[in-house]
C-alpha cells in the first residue's frame, strides 16, 4: 500500500512514516507540507493508494485539497487534525474522506484505522481485477483501478523530485521546472546531436520565455540574474533538507539516493556537521554545483517519464 502524507508539521509526517513502516502497513511514497503543493499528477506519479491529510494548513487546507482532488484520483483520503468541529468533519466525510484521526496521534488508533483502509482498498482492487478479467473475456474494456489515462510529463516528475528534495514551493522551483521543459524540448529537437547547454543559455531561454517577445535585452538580463539567485537559494534549501535527513536517519532511502546524485557528498557531510554544531568553518558558504544539480534533475525526471 502506498501512502502520501500532507501535513505542515514535519514531526507529524515523521511520526506517521515511522508508524506505517513499523507496523508494515505499506510504503510512504511522498509527503508535502501543504495541499497547494499536491495535484493529481504528483499522486498519480507516486501511485498513492491512501492520502493522509491534515485538516488545517496555512496554504490550501485539507477540505479544499480533497475538494480539488477527490473526483480526479482513485486514492483514499484520511483526515488528521486536532480540530473536532462537527461541521468541518462532516464536510470532510461528504467530500470523500474515509476516516478522521484526531491529534495528538495515537499509535493504536492509527494502526487500526489504516488496516481498515488497506482492507477496503485491496478489496476494491480485487473487484477491479475481476471486472477486467471478465471484460477481457467479453471483449469489453474498463479503466483499471489506478487510472493510466493521465499522461505524466517531465514537469510533473520534476515536481515530484523537487518535493522529495524539500524544495518544492521555494521560489526557484518554478525556474527549475521551466528549465526541465526547455531541456526536454531541446532533447527532442536535436536528437543525437543534443549536448547539455551552458547555464547562461538555460537562464537566458527561460527568462526570454517568461517575459515574452517584447522584452528588452536589459530586462532579460535582469530576469536571468534574479532567476539564478532564486535557483541557488532553492538548491541551498535542498542541501539543508538532505543533510537533515542524513542526521535523522543515515539509512534513509532519499538520503542514500540523493545525497551524492544531486550534490558533492563532501558538501552534504559539511552541512550535516554544521547542523550538529561541529563544523569549525560553519560561516564558510556551501559550494553547490548548480550545473551538476540541473543535469541530475533532468536525468532523473526523464527516467521517471520513460
Residue 9 has pLDDT above 60, yes or no: yes
Higher pLDDT, 182 or 303: 182
Distance CA 273, CA 198 (A): 32
In this prediction, residue 227 carries a pLDDT of: 95
pLDDT, mean over the chain: 84
pLDDT given at position 196: 93
Partners of 51 in beta bridges: 4, 77
pLDDT higher at 282 or 241 = 241
Quote the pTM value: 0.62
CATH number of the domain at 2-120, please? Answer: 3.40.50.2300
What local confidence, expressed as pLDDT, does residue 174 receive?
92
Q: Which three cell numbers stand for residue 257?
A: 539516493
- Residue 94 bridge partners (DSSP): none
* Bridge partners (DSSP) listed for residue 32: 6
> What is the reported pLDDT for 306?
63
Non-local CB neighbours of 85 within 8 Å, separated by 6+ positions:
none
Mean pLDDT of 247-251: 80
Report the phi/psi class of residue 96: left, alpha or beta, with left for phi > 0 and alpha for psi in -120 to 50: left
For residue 252, pLDDT beyond 60: yes
Residue with cell 482498498: 121
User: Is the pLDDT assigned to residue 151 strictly greater than 60?
Assistant: no
Res 297: pLDDT? 93
pLDDT of residue 144: 47
Residue 204 to residue 221: CA distance in whole angstroms:
7
End-to-end CA distance of the chain: 23
* CB-based burial label for 254 (10 Å; 0-12, 13-18, 19+): middle
Report whether 38 contacts 26 (CB < 8 A): no
β pairing state of 2-6 and 27-32: parallel
Does position 147 have pLDDT exceeding 50, yes or no?
no
Residue 92 predicted with pLDDT over 90: no
Q: What percent of the chain has pLDDT above 90?
A: 29
Q: How confident is the model at residue 145 (pLDDT cuts 50, 70, 90)?
A: very low
DSSP single-letter state for residue 84: -
Per-residue confidence (pLDDT) for residue 150, from 0 to 100? 46
Average pLDDT score over residue span 168-186: 90
- Three state DSSP letters for 98-166: EEEEECCCCHHHHHHHHHHHHHHHHHHHHHHHHHHHHHHHHCCCCCCCCCCCCCCCHHHHHHHHHHHCC
Q: What is the mean pLDDT of residues 134-145?
A: 53
Q: Of residues 210 and 126, which shows the higher confidence score?
A: 210
With bands split at pLDDT 50, 70 and 90, how would you rate the model's confidence at 126? low
pLDDT given for residue 163 in this prediction: 85
251 phi/psi in degrees, rounded to 5? -95, 10
pLDDT band of 280, cuts 50, 70, 90: low
Q: For the chain, give every domain's residue range.
A: 2-120, 154-305
> Does 30 have pLDDT greater than 50?
yes
Least confident of 28-42, 76-90, 133-147, 239-253: 133-147
What integer pLDDT is reported at residue 197 of this predicted model? 93
pLDDT of residue 131: 59
Are 96 and 68 within 8 A, CB to CB?
A: no
Amino acid at each position: 500500500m502506498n501512502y502520501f502524507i500532507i501535513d505542515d508539521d514535519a514531526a507529524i509526517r515523521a511520526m506517521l512514516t515511522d508508524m506505517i513502516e513499523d507496523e508494515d502497513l505499506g510504503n510512504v511514497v511522498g509527503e508535502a507540507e501543504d495541499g497547494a503543493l499536491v495535484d493529481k499528477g504528483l499522486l498519480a506519479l507516486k501511485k498513492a493508494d491512501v492520502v493522509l491529510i491534515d485538516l488545517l494548513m496555512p496554504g490550501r487546507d485539507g477540505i479544499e485539497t480533497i475538494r480539488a482532488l477527490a473526483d480526479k484520483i482513485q486514492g483514499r483520503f484520511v483526515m488528521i487534525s486536532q480540530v473536532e468541529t462537527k461541521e468541518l468533519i462532516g464536510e470532510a466525510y461528504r467530500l470523500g474522506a474515509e476516516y478522521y484521526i484526531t491529534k495528538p496521534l495515537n499509535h493504536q488508533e492509527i494502526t487500526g484505522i489504516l488496516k481498515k483502509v488497506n482492507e477496503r482498498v485491496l478489496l476494491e482492487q480485487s473487484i477491479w481485477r475481476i471486472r477486467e478479467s471478465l471484460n477481457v473475456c467479453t471483449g469489453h474494456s474498463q479503466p483499471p483501478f489506478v487510472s493510466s489515462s493521465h499522461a505524466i510529463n517531465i514537469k510533473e516528475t520534476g515536481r515530484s523530485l523537487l518535493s522529495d528534495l524539500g524544495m518544492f514551493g521555494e521560489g526557484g522551483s518554478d525556474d527549475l521546472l521551466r528549465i526541465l521543459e526547455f531541456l526536454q524540448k531541446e532533447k527532442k529537437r536535436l536528437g543525437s546531436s543534443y549536448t547539455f547547454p551552458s547555464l547562461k543559455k538555460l537562464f537566458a531561454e527561460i527568462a526570454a520565455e517568461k517575459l515574452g517577445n517584447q522584452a528588452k535585452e536589459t530586462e532579460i538580463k535582469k530576469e536571468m540574474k534574479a532567476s539564478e539567485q532564486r535557483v541557488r537559494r532553492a538548491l541551498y534549501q535542498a542541501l539543508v533538507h538532505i543533510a537533515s535527513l542524513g542526521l535523522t536517519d543515515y539509512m534513509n532511502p532519499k538520503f542514500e539516493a540523493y545525497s551524492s546524485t544531486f550534490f558533492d557528498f563532501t558538501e552534504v557531510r559539511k552541512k550535516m556537521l554544521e547542523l550538529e554544531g561541529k563544523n569549525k568553518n560553519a560561516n564558510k558558504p556551501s559550494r553547490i554545483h548548480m550545473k551538476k544539480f540541473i543535469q541530475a534533475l533532468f536525468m532523473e525526471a526523464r527516467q521517471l517519464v520513460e
